Amino acid sequence: MDRVRFELGEKKYVIIQVRSCSNRPFEVTKATYNLCCGQIIEDSGDCEISRVNDTTVNLMALIQPQAKGATYELEFTYQIPPETLIYSVMVKVG
């Protein structure tokens, strides 16, 4: 799991890059995120989808964690039909 660090009050993008394993073109048709502190969803929404080239896509979530000293899980859920995939990033707030 990747990790990122925030200072309390920061609002910034967390970006993951999705690449084709087979070097074939693909399309991410939908991408969402959930920012969770424990079992509580603090924020959620649609990701920005940015195509880098035919085999690479960036997914971006703009987040602003609210609890100092907390560790969050930022969960990206995205669709590359017919599959639905999930990727998590740990967010630590100082």
* Mean of per-residue pLDDT scores for the chain: 97
Q: Is 47 helix (H, G, I), strand (E, B) or coil?
A: coil
Reported as a single tens digit per residue, the pLDDT across 37-78 is 999 999 999 999 999 999 999 999 999 999 999 999 999 999
> What average pLDDT does this structure show over 23-45?
97
> What average pLDDT does this structure show over 23-49?
97
pTM, two decimal places? 0.94
Per-residue model confidence (pLDDT) at position 77? 98
Helices (H), the chain: none
Per-residue model confidence (pLDDT) at position 1? 84
Strands (E), 7-82: 12-19, 30-37, 40-46, 48-53, 56-63, 71-80
Burial class of residue 94, CB neighbours in 10 A (0-12, 13-18, 19+) = exposed
Reported as a single tens digit per residue, the pLDDT across 79-91 is 999 999 999 999 9
